[in-house]
Each structure stands twice: as structure tokens, then as C-alpha cells.
Homo-oligomer: A and B are copies of this chain.
């Protein structure tokens, strides 16, 4: 990333035409990140992530939307082997408990899936939500109390996309007990863990989500997920039908950006 201020200034002179719709090249950069992002568990390399790179990824997360401009997130960066080992033990316990929850026919498949890279990834990061960051009453959170949690999730997604663009793999580990995370990371009562992420360079990014490749579940046809004016109400007007047709015609749109 060599973008200098000079480049930025040059670009600025184009701002009137480019302020709204991005150029095809800029759109491509975003869509590449979206369609090539993967939940990485098994391909981590020990190579260190430079602080220059990590800083950019954290800035991307920090510019997520947040309800009432709360910015409720914190970033706990974990490199201590002892802390990683404790988290890994919590994972192992939860993973054992999880196995028995699946139907017997699925238990073996579940056991064979690699679901975390806590120890082998060079950095773990926990992104949290401080539910009291800006006092009791928050604009936009008066009726939907969960909005601060969702803000931190938006930060996670920005983080993940920026990491992908920087060539860094991210895996979200959710087979953990909240209480174990809270005690290992010494989170105060008002701070909720949102995402425990494993971070590192990778040997390769997989072409598809692993659960899709493993035939655990298929990608849903997106046109089945769209309804109009009311839940599940199918297209009735010409305009609505034309959106459904467009979604069907665009089935290969994501694959145009595959690397």
C-alpha cells in the first residue's frame, strides 16, 4: 500500500465526478474483498504481521458505523502463548460439548472439521463491545438495545475485509463459552466479547466456504431470500419480477471477482 498524500490529492481533483459512484476499478477492489473473504482455520503461516499492516486493518474496523457514534469496540491483541493456550482449552471443552449436540449421523463429520487456528495463527484478536461507553442514553439505541453489539459486529466485518485485502487470513472462533473469554481476558462486566479472531498470513485462501465444499450446506439461491413489502411475499409487479430475474441472471456475478 504505497498510496501517498500526493496520490490522494491528485485523486481529489476528480472528486466532483467520483464522489458518488466509484470507478469500475474501485468497485472491483471492494467486490474482490467481499467475494474472496474466507473464514480461515487451517492454513496459517507463522510469518509475523507487520504493525504497519495491522494498523491499517484496525483503522478500517474503527471506521465502522456505530449507533449514536458510540464506537463501543475495543481490540485486545493476544500474542501471549499462555493466553492462547487458555483460550484453546476453553475451545476444546466447548468443542467436546458441541459434538454431542449433533445427530449421530453428523457427529463424525463435525469431529473432522478444523474449526479454529488459535495456537498456530501468530495473532489472536478479541473485538468487544463496551455497553456503557457513552452513558446510559444513546441516540438510536433507545428502543433497540442490541444496536451497540451490532456496531461492534460491523467493525468485525470491516476488519475482516481489510485483512483480506492485505493478504491476511481471519478466522472467527465462536465455539467458546462467554464466561471463559471474559475471565481469561479480564473483561469488565459492561464489556461483551463479540468476536474472537485468529489472524495470520496463509498458504492459500480456499475457493469456497469450507462448509459449502464439505457439502454440509449449499449456498442458497439469493432470489429465494428476497420478498416484497411483507415477509415472504413474492414478486407481483413488473418491477419486482424484473429484480428477481436480474438476481437470477447475476448468479455468476460473484465469480467474476474470484482471484
Contacts and interface: CB of A to CB of B under 8 A. Distances in A.
Contact of A142 (B22, B172, B175, B205): B175
Contact of A21 (B26, B144, B166): B166
Given A97-B142, A226-B77, A63 B35 contact: yes
Contacts of A255: 8
Interface string A181-217: 0000111100100110000011011000101100011
A234 B137 CA distance: 29
Q: Tell me the number of copies of this protein.
A: 2
B142 A220 contact: no
A194 B67 CA distance: 13
Nearest to A208: B69
Contact of A102 (B83, B137, B240): B137
A22 B64 contact: no
A28 interface: yes
A85 interface: no
> Which of A70, A231, A258 has the most chain B CB within a 10 Å cutoff?
A231
A78 interface: yes
A92 to B, nearest CB: 12
Interface of A: 1-5, 7-8, 11-12, 15, 18-22, 24-35, 37, 39, 51-52, 54-56, 58-60, 62-65, 67-71, 73-80, 83, 94, 97-98, 101-103, 110, 113, 115, 128, 134, 137, 139-144, 146-147, 149-150, 153-154, 156-158, 160-162, 164-167, 172, 174-178, 185-188, 191, 194-195, 201-202, 204-205, 209, 211-212, 216-217, 219-220, 222, 225-233, 239-240, 242-243, 246-247, 249-250, 252-259
Given A22-B164, A62-B222, A115-B140, 5 more contacts: A4-B256, A26-B28, A30-B32, A74-B227, A97-B143
14 contacts: A20-B167, A21-B166, A22-B29, A26-B165, A55-B250, A65-B160, A67-B174, A69-B217, A73-B225, A74-B231, A142-B175, A149-B150, A186-B232, A188-B231
